């Protein structure tokens, strides 16, 4: 994606750390940041979902959508733009501005009340559960991976209770993808399980996405699954 501007450099301000300066410089020179502003998306993350959908086609015909870790709302915007009449329920601990046909729950997805609140707000089986959730990093690779994968597992547990037959679960994972046990659980419950890193993910980022399509509702309802 070409950007018609010279690369911008940011001078280190007296009260700005070197890390903050690097982040700001990266933002100023990120073509996806500029494109998001030009096209009205709330975050560059919108293009990750757009690119994944272009490859896997999971947003085709969706009517009922759950978005976990939705703020600031870029993924919801993609769904609204593609399917203006789709019903979306979004959840996040952070504030999020309103969007058409979108119910926003400001709460912790890991709280005991969250799953029922989401199910009640949607009022129907979901065609897709989206999750761009990631745990706050502590700088220790193994710990960060475990914390993020715990969110993926919690999202999967929720998805198996709300997805309609044939539905899709899309979730952020980290480098190396989902671990063995999680992949096994995904394959038990979905016809297809793939990993992908969309072009909009920064090259130095460890994030990948798991795309599980073709939910087996009958299989998920069997005892012990």
**Catalytic amino acids?**
172
166 is in an annotated binding site: no
Helix (H, G, I), strand (E, B), or coil: what is residue 5?
Answer: coil
What does the DSSP assignment read for 55-123?
HH-TTTT--EEEEET-TT-HHHHHHHHH-TT-EEEEEESS-----TTEEEEES-TTSTTHHHHHHHHH-
Cis peptide before 72 (omega within 30 of 0): yes
Cα–Cα distance for residue pair 190/23, rounded to 1 Å: 38
92 is in an annotated binding site: yes
Cα–Cα distance for residue pair 186/146, rounded to 1 Å: 17
23 is in an annotated binding site: no
53 is in an annotated binding site: no
Only one residue has tokens 């709330």, namely: 42
Dihedral angle computed from the Cα positions of residues 154, 46, 208 and 19, in that order, rounded to the nearest 10 degrees: -100
208 is in an annotated binding site: no
Residue list for the binding site for S-adenosyl-L-methionine:
73, 75, 92, 108, 132
Residue list for the binding site:
73, 75, 92, 108, 132
């Amino acid at each position: 994606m070409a950007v018609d501007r010279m690369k911008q450099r940011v001078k280190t301000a007296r009260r700005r750390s070197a890390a903050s300066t690097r982040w700001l410089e990266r933002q100023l020179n990120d073509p996806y940041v500029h494109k998001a502003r030009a096209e009205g998306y709330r975050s560059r993350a919108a293009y990750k979902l757009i690119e994944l959908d272009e490859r896997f086609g999971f947003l085709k015909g969706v009517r009922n959508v759950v978005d976990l870790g939705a703020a600031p709302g870029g993924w919801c915007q993609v769904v609204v733009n593609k399917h203006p009449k789709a019903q979306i329920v979004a959840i996040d601990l952070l504030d999020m501005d309103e969007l058409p046909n979108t119910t926003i729950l400001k709460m912790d997805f890991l709280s005991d009340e969250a799953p029922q609140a989401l199910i009640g707000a949607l009022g129907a089986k979901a065609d897709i559960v989206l999750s761009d959730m990631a745990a706050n990093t502590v700088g220790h690779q193994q710990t960060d991976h475990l914390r993020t994968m715990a969110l993926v597992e919690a999202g999967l547990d929720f998805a198996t209770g709300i997805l309609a037959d044939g539905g899709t679960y899309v979730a952020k994972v980290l480098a190396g993808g989902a671990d063995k046990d999680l992949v096994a659980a995904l394959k038990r419950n979905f016809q297809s399980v793939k990993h992908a890193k969309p072009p909009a993910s920064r090259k130095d980022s460890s994030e990948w996405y798991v795309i599980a399509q073709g939910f087996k509702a009958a299989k998920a309802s069997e005892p012990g699954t």
